[in-house]
Amino acid sequence: MNLYIRNTSAQPFIVNCRLPEMNKVYILELHPRRTETVRHLNSGQLEALIDHLAKFGGVDRKTLHGRIDDFQGLVYSLDKPISEEEVLAGYEAVADHQQDRAVRQATRAAVAAGTRQTTEHRAKSSEVELEQENGPAKKRARMKVAVDTSVNHSDALPV
């Protein structure tokens, strides 16, 4: 049985793990935007490798089209190689995750800037604006976060 693993991110990824019935560490290099085929492993070893990939953000090809939180860019499949459409869906999920993370970081920065100032010099609101280019299509994502510093943000913001 073959295992197909696709790295949809732009970063190389190296898998190091111990598999059952192997005397040494199993090392697998996953190059950016390429599919690697894993052969010559028994079912127990494949299951251990899939569990290891899942710990580090790997998802099954079948779940790639839904909303994936904290997607790291690793996709695996036991039945067939991963298609280009699925790679694009994976890349979109990575870009969405990065944008969500940027929103959280910008919100934290705006709140921190507003609460660091003394009460007599505190601004009425803090504003952070981000602009990001996503992917090979160079889609632009613009975001503006405004925070009112007079509100207690520990209850109001999901940071």
Q: What is the pLDDT of residues 44-73, one digit of tens each?
A: 999 999 999 999 888 888 877 665 666 678
pLDDT at 5: 94
pTM over 0.85: no
pLDDT at 159: 46
- Asked whether the predicted pLDDT for residue 2 surpasses 80, the reply is yes
More confident residue, 102 or 55: 55
* Beta carbons of 49 and 3 less than 8 angstroms apart: yes
What Rg do the C-alpha atoms of the chain give, in angstroms?
21
Q: Count Cβ neighbours within 10 Å for each residue of 104-130 and write b for 16 or more, e otherwise.
A: eebbbebbeebeeeeeeeeeeebebee
- Asked whether the predicted pLDDT for residue 119 surpasses 60, the reply is no
The CA-based diameter of the chain, rounded to the nearest angstrom, is: 69
More confident residue, 116 or 32: 32
Position 157 confidence tier, pLDDT thresholds 50, 70, 90: very low
Residue 6 sits at φ, ψ, to 5 deg, of: -120, 130
Q: Where are the alpha helices (DSSP H) in the chain?
A: 43-55, 84-116, 153-156
- Asked whether the predicted pLDDT for residue 122 surpasses 60, the reply is no
Report, as an integer, the average pLDDT of 87-102: 73
* Beta carbons of 42 and 115 less than 8 angstroms apart: no
| Residues 66-87 pLDDT 10s | 656 666 788 899 988 888 777 6
C-alpha distances out from residue 48 to 7, 22, 26, 27, 58, Å = 19, 12, 11, 13, 13
